[in-house]
Amino acid sequence: MSQIVTVHDLIPLKYPEVSPKWKYYYQYALPFLLKQSARIIAVSEYTKQDMVNTYHLDPDLIEVVYNGYDQDLFYPQANPAILEQYNLDKYLLYVGDMRFYKNLSRCLKAFDGLPCKNYQFVITGKKDDFFYPEIKRQTANLAAQERIIFLDYVPTDELPGLYSMAQALVFPSLYEGFGLPVLEAMACGCPVITSKVTSIPEVGRDSVFYVDPYDVDSIAQGMYQVITNPELSTNLRHQGLTRAKLFSWDQTAEGVAQVLDKCLESRGKAKS
């Protein structure tokens, strides 16, 4: 029976310490499964190339189908009530978990060094038992600790309001198979400060502000530029909105359907 497998990323192989339970699956089971597949779907060109290099796969068997987002949910929403709900003022936003490759530690150090002391840094993401305590410990040593807000898990229907009211999304991740927060933020008209590594440039292109994710000063400079330059901020908002319109779940579904058609066509030729 023919099968199609979708792969989002190879994080358990690249960072086994953050996903120890999945390391052996990605090391032994997944390559076997992929080599038995009629077609493979990757959610980015980067993930495709990562699989080719790691598992020595035929690139012609891998189709890139980008993720989409819920266009009925993620759009610009001026929602002052969300500021009152979470006791927020002017803030920079981080969305995601706290695994170290997300680079939250450098984000906090960069924020701590900002000369603008009237901003908050808001973190949304699950407070896990392993990574959260370490991030919290690091925060306790920062002068800006009182302005760093941990919101824990935020319901999906509240995220658009947080994106829309933020001064910027700060997302200088070291590794992403796609980078959904970048797309969601752009769709909400939120300027994005991110890293030009792995798959992220495929999503953001020239509609985001890139920083060196390994350099705290570069991240801090990105924050400073976006929050102090209204023209830059406005341009990023407009460019992000335009860029986000190129992605949708309808397009994703169409891409998957095309992969299915190719499989059926190949199967028909093999039988004839």
Look up residue 120 and give its two tokens. Answer: 């908050």
Report CA torsion sign: 237, 238, 240, 244.
positive
Bridge-based pairing state of the strands 91-95 and 209-211: unpaired
Confidence of residue 184 (pLDDT cuts 50, 70, 90): very high
Look up residue 8 and give its two tokens. Answer: 């989002």
- On whether the CB atoms of residues 11 and 101 are closer than 8 A, the answer is yes
Residue 266: per-residue pLDDT: 72
User: Can you tell me the mean pLDDT for 142-146?
Assistant: 97
Look up residue 119 and give its two tokens. Answer: 């901003």
Does pLDDT of 271 surpass 80? no
Instruction: Write down all domains in the chain, each with its CATH number in brackets.
Output: 4-67+248-271 (no CATH), 80-244 (3.40.50.2000)
Residue 269: per-residue pLDDT: 62
| Region of poorest pLDDT, from 21-25, 46-50, 183-187, 248-252 | 21-25
User: Can you tell me the mean pLDDT for 202-210?
Assistant: 98
Report how far residue 192's alpha carbon sits from residue 172's, in angstroms, rounded to the nearest whole number. Answer: 10
Smallest Cα–Cα separation from 69: which of 236, 226, 190?
190
Does pLDDT of 270 surpass 80? no
Smallest Cα–Cα separation from 45: which of 193, 186, 201, 182?
201
Report the percent of the chain where pLDDT is more than 90.
Answer: 88
The pLDDT tens digits of the residues spanning 81-130 come to: 999 999 999 999 999 999 999 999 999 999 999 999 999 999 998 888 88
Does pLDDT of 268 surpass 70? no
Report how far residue 118's alpha carbon sits from residue 78's, in angstroms, rounded to the nearest whole number. Answer: 21
- On whether the CB atoms of residues 97 and 116 are closer than 8 A, the answer is no
Residue 18: per-residue pLDDT: 81
Residue type, 73: L
Residue 153: per-residue pLDDT: 85
- On whether the CB atoms of residues 34 and 52 are closer than 8 A, the answer is no
User: Can you tell me the mean pLDDT for 168-196?
Assistant: 98
Mean pLDDT over each residue of the chain, to the nearest integer? 94
Residue 1: per-residue pLDDT: 54
Confidence of residue 228 (pLDDT cuts 50, 70, 90): very high
Q: Rounded to 10 degrees, what is the CA torsion of 12, 19, 139, 122?
A: 70
